[in-house]
């Protein structure tokens, strides 16, 4: 059964998430927002005020506190005994409904060999190759509810390509 847990006042977040598996990360800071593959040795924690590390089995959300330390929240489908570290506040959660998708901005530009959106004047950082002419990148979300109290949670669990058809063309 899935779990929810947290860590407060974390000064070394790379140590706190060591041993967990993440395929991608989203970081939001004052000067930048990034979506990239997660590499534990290169992830620039100090550049972001909040973000998400996510993979097939778990997600860690982080928020920078006023004292510059981080608050981490873990949502995982792994069994509790398989989670390394000193996570606190363990609560069981249960799947709430089918997975959903959040379609991201941009389309593949074959000439430029990259993902672009007309309203965003830079190349988008999606590391997926298109699968056909009409591909879009989407975040896959998994939804949960607490077992012992009210409340709903969602976590990112991967990136995928979607195919679509343009209407009227």
Give which of 13, 33, 31 is closest to 22, Cα–Cα: 13
> In sequence order, which residues have a C-beta less than 8 Å from that of residue 134 and are 6 or more positions away?
163, 164, 165, 166
d(CA 92, CA 37): 28
pLDDT at residue number 167? 65
pLDDT at residue number 168? 59
pLDDT at residue number 166? 63
pLDDT at residue number 104? 87
- Distance between terminal CA atoms of the chain? 46
13, two tokens: 């977040």
| Consecutive H or E run containing 15 | helix 13-16
Identify the segments of the chain with pLDDT beneath 70: 132-133, 165-169
153: left (phi over 0), alpha (psi -120 to 50) or beta: beta
Q: Are 17 and 54 in contact (CB under 8 A)?
A: no
């Amino acid at each position: 059964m899935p779990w929810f847990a947290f860590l407060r006042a974390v000064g070394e977040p790379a140590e706190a998430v060591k041993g967990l598996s993440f395929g991608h990360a989203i970081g939001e800071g004052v000067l930048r927002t990034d979506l990239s593959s997660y590499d534990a040795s290169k992830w620039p924690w100090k550049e972001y005020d909040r973000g998400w590390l996510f993979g097939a089995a778990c997600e860690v959300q982080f928020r920078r506190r006023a004292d510059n330390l981080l608050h981490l929240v873990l949502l995982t489908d792994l069994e509790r005994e398989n989670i390394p570290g000193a996570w606190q506040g363990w609560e069981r959660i249960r799947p709430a409904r089918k997975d959903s998708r959040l379609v991201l901005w941009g389309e593949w530009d074959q000439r430029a060999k990259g993902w672009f959106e007309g309203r965003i004047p830079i190349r988008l950082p999606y590391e997926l190759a298109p699968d056909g002419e009409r591909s879009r990148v989407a975040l896959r979300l998994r939804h949960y509810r607490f077992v012992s109290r009210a409340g709903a949670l969602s976590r990112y669990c991967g990136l995928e390509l979607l195919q679509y058809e343009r209407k009227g063309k």
